């Protein structure tokens, strides 16, 4: 009898321990409005998810966090770093485990916002931003629209252009093809595209350019129409945009070796003179200025067929706050302090080539020539009224459904390797769109 | 030769002869006092196993019968719909094919390579002892570290192609950028990583082959190949079983190398495995329910294949 009681107690203890531990493990996230977790001296500790790149390194984030924290008393920031640049995928993993950070940097809000996982910013909180409605979802802004990026800008190696006899930067798409042919004949790889390892997203930029010139120029709200089912990827305009990428690769102008290069390796390949053109987001500008290669770098916008200006841009990309943050109001206050801080923005401009979308902000006067050339492209786009969205980079109502940008980036590799024709690529995207919106 | 075979088989009969067992009436009486203490000692292990193995498996099974999507609530019970969808999903079928190819390559190459290396290293010398450590190093390294190293070797600008260009190859293969090659590059990396494990297991097996059997076979006139076929190889059957089952499991759950080196590419699904697809469906596509069904199928497949292979290989095992 004593023995069987002992056994029963042991089993009961095991089961109870399991249940208690399971309860602890599965409910670590406190609901909104719950008492804040306090650190030393009544501080609230808020977790902040950031990502590191060659331009935005650990030292950059630490300094930026320290400046914002100095402006918001009572906050202590716990920095979390994503394992790679794909912060949205990592945020989803954390969310699935019930550990969505309190504050997140540059995560795509699609999906999170609709599921009520993010706290919206009020119009009053957004009063200092030049495009306060950018990236709105059902009229609410969940991500601070703190900066604008031109995506893509075609950065080019002036030495190789000169040696190949390309005297003018291409103004039309045909001129881009002609320049590529001259470069190829001179023994240079015309265009560097990366996308290896986990950085598949880095292969998107030529397609973002062709979609801007061949689809968005004519139909700026194309993705809104796609959501409404009024257009499809298989429509002729999109197929033509995809066909240009397949054609550039088939003619040997796009370097297929890039499909094994990470984003950082792709940037390095351009620096090493392994290709003449590097279609990339405007964030490359300051990287080029800060770490000058042995040749001069120029910049021009992705050209359209008829040479009319088209400037694909993305405005947004700032900080987001979880609706279940330990203290939502304090987290929003800190996020605003982080994104509006002049020194932080100067640092973002210098480290990541951003074009801050904050009223009255003036960039540092000592910015380098590649950044100046990039800003000139943006300013010209504003003057021409040629600003359109940057495909696959959008946020808000006019964006791809969650997960589709990743699927598109993988399928772009099929276009480059010739595994898919433009028509097959477009049909694949329509299939994936249906799957993502089921 | 026939004598040698007879000795081995005879030993098996001796080894498998049943030993006298305590009577049914006496056994519970001896075990009962200890059971409580056993349970207490087993408690931490049971808790950990229950929490981190059983509970997730049960939760996966439950989710697989729902349409759970954290970004698209509410979660509803959908029965076996996810499993039916799987059977016609080209991405799943591609991932399954890739997984089977990787598993076959890894299982065969690592077994053959491991046996060859083990036979070369089965010598009593400090040099060979040191070499055993060298071959085993990849096994203790993180898969992510190994993937980063191999990516540096196999990218188009990497060490291998630089060496090939140095040797005059003008257009070396795109080991990771060519969709036709990338899957085999991944299989090779996993094989390389697992080779050391196979070497150690085969070395242990080789050292367990009785010298007198080898000598008897030699006296009977058996050459090196005949001795290997009729003495060494049958005695290595337990090592083959361990290696094959471990390699099968490793191949079926390949994920880290794909995530770090190719992200499932180049292109759509070229190197995506089942484990990669599980994570992609869950954390890129947000389809937790569907991803759980995929994980459940993967678990059943790994368990089923492992059990069948284990049974088949154990039948040919001989013991001393």
Per DSSP, the three-state class of A119 is coil
The residue ranking higher by pLDDT, A325 or B5, is A325
> Which positions in chain B touch A195 (Cβ < 8 Å)?
265-266
Residues A180 and A203 in one domain: yes
pLDDT at A51: 92
Contact at CB, B265 and A200, closer than 8 angstroms:
yes
- Phi and psi, residue A223, nearest 5°: -70, -30
Locate A397 and state its tokens. Answer: 């109502």
d(CA A395, CA A382): 20
CA distance B171 to chain A (A): 11
Burial A391-400 (b: 16+ CB within 10 A, else e): bbbbbbebbb
- Phi and psi, residue A395, nearest 5°: -125, 165
> Which positions in chain A touch B262 (Cβ < 8 Å)?
196-197
Contact at CB, A196 and B179, closer than 8 angstroms:
no
pLDDT greater than 60 at residue A324 = yes
Residues A143 and A161 in one domain: no
- CB of A96 within 8 Å of a chain B CB? The answer is yes
Contact at CB, B284 and A414, closer than 8 angstroms:
no
**CA end-to-end span of chain A, whole Å?**
59
Assess contact for A137 and A116: CB atoms under 8 A: no
Q: What is the residue extent of each domain of chain B? A: 90-315
d(CA B111, CA A336): 59
pLDDT at B200: 94
- CB of A26 within 8 Å of a chain B CB? The answer is no
Assess contact for B222 and B4: CB atoms under 8 A: yes
CATH number at residue A209: 3.40.190.10
pLDDT tens digits for range A151-187: 999 999 999 999 999 999 999 999 999 999 999 999 9
- CB of B35 within 8 Å of a chain A CB? The answer is yes
Asked if the B90-315 domain carries CATH number 1.20.1260.10, the reply is no
Assess contact for B51 and A21: CB atoms under 8 A: yes
DSSP class of residue A397 equals G
Residues A280 and A386 in one domain: yes
CA distance B297 to chain A (A): 21
Residues A350 and A337 in one domain: yes
Residue of A nearest to B68 (CA): A96
- CB of A273 within 8 Å of a chain B CB? The answer is no
CA distance A347 to chain B (A): 30
Residues A175 and A57 in one domain: no
Residue A141 is assigned to a structural domain of this protein: yes
- CB of A356 within 8 Å of a chain B CB? The answer is no
d(CA A368, CA A372): 6
E strand intervals along A139-200: 147-150, 153-157
- CB of A20 within 8 Å of a chain B CB? The answer is no
The DSSP-derived string for B211-240 is HHHHHHHHHTT--HHHHIIIIIHHHTHHHH
Assess contact for A377 and A300: CB atoms under 8 A: yes
Locate A47 and state its tokens. Answer: 């977790």
pLDDT tens digits for range A354-408: 899 999 898 899 999 999 999 999 999 999 999 999 999 988 888 898 889 989 9
Helix, strand, coil % in chain A, rounded to nearest 5: 45, 15, 40
Q: Please tell me the total number of residues recorded for chain A in this structure.
A: 438
Assess contact for A265 and B176: CB atoms under 8 A: no
- CB of A407 within 8 Å of a chain B CB? The answer is yes
Which site among A260, A270, A408, A411 would you substitute to test the B interface, given the most B Cβ atoms closer than 10 Å to its Cβ?
A260
Residue of B nearest to A113 (CA): B71
Residue A70 is assigned to a structural domain of this protein: yes
Helix (H) or strand (E) run with residue B144 in it: helix B143-154
> Which positions in chain A touch B47 (Cβ < 8 Å)?
14, 17-18, 21
Interfacial B residues in 295-314 facing A (CB < 8 Å): none
Residue of B nearest to A96 (CA): B70
Q: pLDDT exceeding 70 applies to what percent of chain A?
A: 90
DSSP class of residue B50 equals I
d(CA B102, CA B124): 35
pLDDT tens digits for range A193-223: 999 888 899 999 999 999 999 999 999 999 9
Residue A23 is assigned to a structural domain of this protein: no
Locate B74 and state its tokens. Answer: 């509410």
Interfacial B residues in 176-215 facing A (CB < 8 Å): 176-179
CA distance B164 to chain A (A): 15
Residues contacting B73, CB < 8 A, separation 6+ = A115
pLDDT at B30: 66
A368, exposed or middle or buried, with CB in 10 Å at 0-12, 13-18, 19+? Answer: middle
Residues A226 and A337 in one domain: no
Residue A273 φ/ψ region, left for φ over 0, alpha for ψ in the -120 to 50 degree band, beta for the rest? left
Alpha-carbon B294 to chain mean position: 19
Entry pTM: 0.80
Residues A280 and A405 in one domain: yes
Residues A170 and A260 in one domain: yes
Q: How many structural domains are present in chain A?
A: 2
Residues in chain B, pLDDT under 50: 1-20, 22-25, 320
The residue ranking higher by pLDDT, A212 or A24, is A212
Locate A337 and state its tokens. Answer: 């302090």
Residues contacting A26, CB < 8 A, separation 6+ = A98
- Residue A354, domain extent: 40-147+316-370
Interfacial A residues in 138-167 facing B (CB < 8 Å): none
d(CA B261, CA B147): 6
Residue of B nearest to A419 (CA): B267
pLDDT greater than 70 at residue A418 = yes
d(CA A408, CA A391): 10
d(CA A105, CA A90): 12
Contact at CB, B268 and A410, closer than 8 angstroms:
yes
Residues A138 and A197 in one domain: no
Locate B147 and state its tokens. Answer: 């993937």
pLDDT tens digits for range A146-158: 999 999 999 999 9
- Phi and psi, residue A270, nearest 5°: -65, -45
How far CA A413 is from CA of A394, A419, B91, B132, B294, in Å, comes to 21, 8, 16, 41, 25
- CB of A404 within 8 Å of a chain B CB? The answer is no
The complex scores an ipTM of 0.76
DSSP class of residue A230 equals S
d(CA A426, CA A26): 41
Locate A17 and state its tokens. Answer: 């321990």
Residue A22 is assigned to a structural domain of this protein: no
Q: Are strands A44-50 and A103-105 parallel, antiparallel or unpaired?
A: parallel
Which site among B55, B71, B86 would you substitute to test the A interface, given the most A Cβ atoms closer than 10 Å to its Cβ?
B71
Using pLDDT thresholds of 50, 70 and 90, give the confidence band for residue A32: very low
Residues A89 and A67 in one domain: yes
- CB of A424 within 8 Å of a chain B CB? The answer is no
Number of A/B CB contacts below 8 angstroms equals 142
Residues A127 and A261 in one domain: no
Residues A85 and A184 in one domain: no
Q: How crowded is residue A58: how many other Cβ atoms within 10 Å of its Cβ?
A: 11
CA distance A256 to chain B (A): 7
Burial A370-381 (b: 16+ CB within 10 A, else e): bbebbbebbeeb
Q: Rounded to the nearest 10 degrees, what angle do helices A87-96 and B274-283 cross at?
A: 90
pLDDT tens digits for range A217-275: 999 999 999 999 999 999 999 999 999 999 999 999 998 888 889 998 999 999 999 99
- CB of A10 within 8 Å of a chain B CB? The answer is yes
Interfacial B residues in 45-64 facing A (CB < 8 Å): 46-47, 50-51, 55
CA distance A298 to chain B (A): 25
Residue B142 φ/ψ region, left for φ over 0, alpha for ψ in the -120 to 50 degree band, beta for the rest? beta
Residue of B nearest to A415 (CA): B267
| C-alpha Rg value of chain B to the nearest Å | 25
Residue A126 is assigned to a structural domain of this protein: yes
């Amino acid at each position: 009898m004593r023995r069987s009681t002992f056994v029963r107690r042991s089993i009961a203890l095991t089961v109870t321990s399991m249940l208690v531990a399971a309860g602890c493990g599965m409910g670590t996230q406190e609901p909104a409005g719950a008492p804040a977790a306090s650190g030393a001296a009544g501080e609230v500790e808020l977790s902040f998810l950031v990502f590191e790149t060659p331009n935005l390194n650990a030292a950059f984030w630490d300094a930026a966090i320290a400046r914002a924290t100095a402006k918001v008393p009572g906050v202590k920031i716990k920095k979390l770093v994503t394992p790679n640049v794909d912060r949205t995928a990592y945020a989803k993993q954390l969310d699935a485990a019930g550990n969505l950070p309190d504050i997140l940097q540059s995560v795509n809000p699609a999906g999170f916002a609709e599921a009520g996982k993010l706290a919206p910013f009020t119009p009053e909180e957004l009063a200092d931003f030049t495009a306060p409605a950018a990236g709105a979802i059902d009229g609410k802004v969940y991500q601070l629209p703190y900066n604008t990026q031109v995506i893509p800008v075609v950065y080019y190696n002036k030495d190789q252009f000169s040696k190949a006899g390309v005297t003018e930067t291409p103004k039309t798409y045909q001129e881009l093809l002609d320049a590529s042919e001259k470069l190829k004949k001179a023994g240079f790889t015309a265009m560097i595209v990366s996308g290896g390892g986990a950085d598949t997203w880095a292969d998107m930029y030529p397609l973002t350019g062709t979609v801007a010139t061949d689809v968005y120029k004519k139909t700026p709200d194309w993705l809104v129409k796609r959501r409404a089912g009024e257009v499809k990827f298989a429509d002729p305009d999109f197929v033509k945009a995809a066909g240009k990428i397949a054609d550039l690769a088939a003619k040997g102008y796009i370097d297929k070796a890039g499909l094994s290069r990470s984003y950082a390796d792709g940037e390095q390949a351009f620096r090493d003179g392994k290709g003449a053109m590097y279609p990339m987001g405007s964030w490359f500008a300051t990287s080029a200025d800060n770490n000058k290669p042995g040749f001069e770098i120029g910049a021009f916008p992705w050209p359209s067929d008829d040479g009319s200006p088209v400037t694909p841009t993305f405005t947004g990309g700032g900080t987001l706050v979880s609706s279940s943050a330990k203290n939502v109001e304090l987290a929003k206050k800190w996020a605003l302090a982080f994104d509006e801080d002049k020194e932080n923005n100067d640092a973002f401009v210098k480290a990541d080539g951003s074009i801050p979308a904050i009223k009255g902000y003036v960039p540092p006067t000592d910015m380098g020539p590649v950044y100046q050339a990039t800003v000139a492209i943006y300013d010209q786009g504003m003057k021409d009224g040629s600003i359109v969205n940057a495909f696959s980079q959008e946020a808000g109502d006019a964006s791809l459904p969650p997960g589709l940008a990743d699927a598109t980036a993988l399928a772009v590799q099929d276009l480059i390797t010739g595994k898919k024709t433009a028509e097959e690529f477009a049909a694949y995207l329509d299939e994936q769109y249906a799957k993502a919106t089921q | 030769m026939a004598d040698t075979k007879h000795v081995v088989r005879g030993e098996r009969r001796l080894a498998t002869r049943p030993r006298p067992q305590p009577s049914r009436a006496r056994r519970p009486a001896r075990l009962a006092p200890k059971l409580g203490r056993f349970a207490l000692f087993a408690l931490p292990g049971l808790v950990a196993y229950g929490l981190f193995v059983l509970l997730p498996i049960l939760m996966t099974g439950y989710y697989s019968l729902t349409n759970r999507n954290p970004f698209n609530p509410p979660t509803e019970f959908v029965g076996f719909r996810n499993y039916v969808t799987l059977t016609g999903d080209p991405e799943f079928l591609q991932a399954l094919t890739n997984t089977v190819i990787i598993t076959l390559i890894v299982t065969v190459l690592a077994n053959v390579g491991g046996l060859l290396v083990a036979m070369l290293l089965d010598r009593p010398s400090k040099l060979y002892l040191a070499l055993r450590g060298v071959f085993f190093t990849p096994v203790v390294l993180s898969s992510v570290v190994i993937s980063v190293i191999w990516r540096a070797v196999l990218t188009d600008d990497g060490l291998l192609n630089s060496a090939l260009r140095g040797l005059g190859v003008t257009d070396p293969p795109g080991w990771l950028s060519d969709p036709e090659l990338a899957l085999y590059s991944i299989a090779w990396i996993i094989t390389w990583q697992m080779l050391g494990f196979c070497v150690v297991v085969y070395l242990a097996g080789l050292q367990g082959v009785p010298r007198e059997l080898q000598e008897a076979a030699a006296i009977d006139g058996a050459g090196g190949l005949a001795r290997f076929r009729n003495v060494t190889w049958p005695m290595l059957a337990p090592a083959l079983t361990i290696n094959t089952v471990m390699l099968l499991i490793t191949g079926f759950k390949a994920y880290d190398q794909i995530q770090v080196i190719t992200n499932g590419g180049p292109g759509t699904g070229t190197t995506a495995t089942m484990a990669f697809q599980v994570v992609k469906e869950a954390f890129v596509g947000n389809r937790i329910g569907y991803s759980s069904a995929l994980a459940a199928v993967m678990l059943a497949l790994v368990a089923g294949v492992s059990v069948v292979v284990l049974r088949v290989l154990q039948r040919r095992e001989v013991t001393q």
